A = this chain, B = another copy of it.
């Protein structure tokens, strides 16, 4: 980032970056706590996950206000402005990840609490959850180090996740057909799986924001080819 006359400005920028990393750490913890609770079939351990969503929401609002103050007071330009705008985009995705995890944790809590599911029912969810944890970590790390190389890796990882999600849905349909008594539980599991599949999309979004931060190019809604072009040395 460019040099600033005001060291106070530097501190403010550094503070929002740190706050994003803290928020990201909270969301990552939500994911790992959910996975651990389900591996141990400990419904009670999902309660703090569900409750932490409001803390994450509060972090989003606070960081967003901080960004607005910086824009209003400091009138940042070029790379600094991009950093502030990137932060305000990344926190939206982090908040949505928090939302998706909460949704999944609520369903899981109910399924376990009412003995409507056994450990093996969560197999697909747990595997996908295990895939999203390194994806989120990679995305946060990319933001911290302004590393554009994460995007293509995450697009690949997300393809695998989407594939696994679709196959989990197909196998659930088979279960339901074979034993209609599993329909109600299966539907809850399918919505849990959908939620965790969405977490992967948001991790990809965060890596897209990092490309915007580094290169000033908006690669949302574009093809892998356009992304590769943008990341090539031509720019």
**Residue in B closest to A54 when the chains form the complex, CB atoms:** B221
- Cβ of A180 to closest chain B Cβ, rounded Å: 5
Q: Is the interface of A mostly helix, strand, loop or mixed?
A: helix
Is A177 in contact with B183, judged by CB distance below 8 angstroms?
A: yes
Copies in the complex: 2
Can you spell out 22 A-B residue pairs with CB atoms less than 8 angstroms apart?
Answer: A57-B220, A57-B221, A60-B220, A61-B218, A61-B220, A65-B218, A68-B81, A68-B85, A71-B71, A71-B81, A72-B78, A75-B75, A92-B92, A169-B187, A176-B176, A176-B183, A177-B180, A177-B183, A180-B180, A183-B183, A187-B187, A191-B194
A residues with CB within 8 A of B? 54, 57-58, 60-61, 64-65, 68, 71-72, 75, 77-78, 81, 85, 92, 169, 173, 176-177, 180, 183-184, 187, 190-191, 194, 218, 220-221
| Additional 15 contacts, C-beta under 8 A, given A60-B220, A68-B85, A183-B183 | A54-B221, A57-B220, A60-B221, A61-B218, A61-B220, A64-B218, A65-B218, A72-B78, A72-B81, A92-B92, A169-B187, A177-B180, A177-B183, A187-B190, A191-B194
